[in-house]
Amino acid sequence: MSVEKLAARLSKISESQTLAMARKSRELQALGKDIISLSIGEPDYNTPDFIKDAAKLAIDQNYTHYTPVAGFQDLKEAIAAKFKRDNNIDYKPEQIVVSTGAKQSIANVILSLIDLNDEVIVPIPYWVSYIELIKLADGIPVFIHAGVDANFKISPAQLEAAITPKTKMIIFSTPCNPSGSVYNKQELQALAEVLERHPQVYVVSDEIYEHINFVGKHESIAQFPAIYDRVITINGVSKGFAMTGWRIGYIGAPLWISKACEKMQGQFTSGTCSIAQRAALAAILADPEVVKPMRDGFLKRRNMVLEMLEEIPGIKTNIPDGAFYVFPDISSYFGKSDGENIINNSADLCMYLLNSANLALVSGDAFGDDNCIRFSYATSEDKIIEAIKRLKNALARLN
36-37 vs 167-173, strand pairing mode: unpaired
Which one, 23 or 392, has the nearer CB to ligand PMP?
Answer: 23
Q: What residue is closest to ligand GLU based on CB?
A: 41
Partner residues linked to 329 by β-bridges: 316, 372
The reply on whether position 16 binds ligand GLU by CB under 6 A is yes
Q: What residue is closest to ligand PMP based on CB?
A: 101
What is the rounded distance in angstroms from the CA atom of residue 296 to the CA atom of residue 43? Answer: 13
Per CB under 6 A, which region of 1-9, 137-145, 236-244, 272-280 contacts ligand PMP?
Answer: 236-244
Q: Are 328 and 310 in contact (CB under 8 A)?
A: no
Q: How many residues bind ligand PMP (CB under 6 A)?
A: 13
The reply on whether position 265 binds ligand PMP by CB under 6 A is no
Among 128, 291, 309, 391, binds ligand GLU (CB under 6 A): 128
19 contact choice in ligand PMP, ligand GLU, none (CB below 5 to 8 Å, kind-dependent): ligand GLU
Amino acid at position 229, single letter: D
Q: Where are the beta strands (DSSP E) in 150-280?
A: 167-173, 202-206, 231-236, 249-252
141 contact choice in ligand PMP, ligand GLU, none (CB below 5 to 8 Å, kind-dependent): none
Q: Shortest CA distance to 378 belongs to which of 264, 294, 266?
A: 294
The reply on whether position 177 binds ligand GLU by CB under 6 A is yes
40 contact choice in ligand GLU, ligand PMP, none (CB below 5 to 8 Å, kind-dependent): ligand GLU
Residues 20-49 that bind ligand GLU (CB under 6 A): 40-42
What is the rounded distance in angstroms from the CA atom of residue 233 to the CA atom of residue 253? Answer: 6
Q: Are 60 and 213 in contact (CB under 8 A)?
A: no
Query: Closest approach of Cβ 173 to ligand PMP, in Å?
Result: 4
The reply on whether position 104 binds ligand GLU by CB under 6 A is no
Report in angstroms the alpha-carbon separations of 232 from 218, 240, 266, 311.
16, 19, 19, 41
Residues 15-19: contacts with CB under 8 Å, at least 24 apart: 16/128, 16/129, 16/132, 17/128, 17/362, 17/363, 17/366, 18/128, 18/362, 18/366
Find the helix or strand (DSSP H, E) in which 29 lies: helix 17-30
Residues 110-169 that bind ligand PMP (CB under 6 A): 127
Among 19, 190, 286, 308, binds ligand GLU (CB under 6 A): 19
CB hemisphere CA count around 5 (13 angstroms): 2
Please state whether 116 falls in left (phi above 0), alpha (psi between -120 and 50) or beta: beta
Which one, 243 or 398, has the nearer CB to ligand PMP?
Answer: 243
223 contact choice in ligand GLU, ligand PMP, none (CB below 5 to 8 Å, kind-dependent): none
The reply on whether position 283 binds ligand PMP by CB under 6 A is no
Query: Closest approach of Cβ 21 to ligand PMP, in Å?
Result: 13
Among 36, 54, 102, 122, binds ligand PMP (CB under 6 A): 102
Q: Are 148 and 316 in contact (CB under 8 A)?
A: yes
Query: Closest approach of Cβ 103 to ligand PMP, in Å?
Result: 3
What is the rounded distance in angstroms from the CA atom of residue 396 to the CA atom of residue 352? Answer: 12
The reply on whether position 328 binds ligand PMP by CB under 6 A is no
CA dihedral over 349, 336, 357, 331, signed as positive or negative: negative
Query: Closest approach of Cβ 41 to ligand GLU, in Å?
Result: 3
249 contact choice in ligand PMP, ligand GLU, none (CB below 5 to 8 Å, kind-dependent): ligand PMP
Question: Which residues would be at the binding site for ligand GLU (CB under 6 A)?
Answer: 16, 18-19, 40-42, 103, 128-129, 177
Question: Which residues would be at the binding site for ligand PMP (CB under 6 A)?
Answer: 41, 101-103, 127, 173, 177, 206, 208, 236, 238, 244, 249
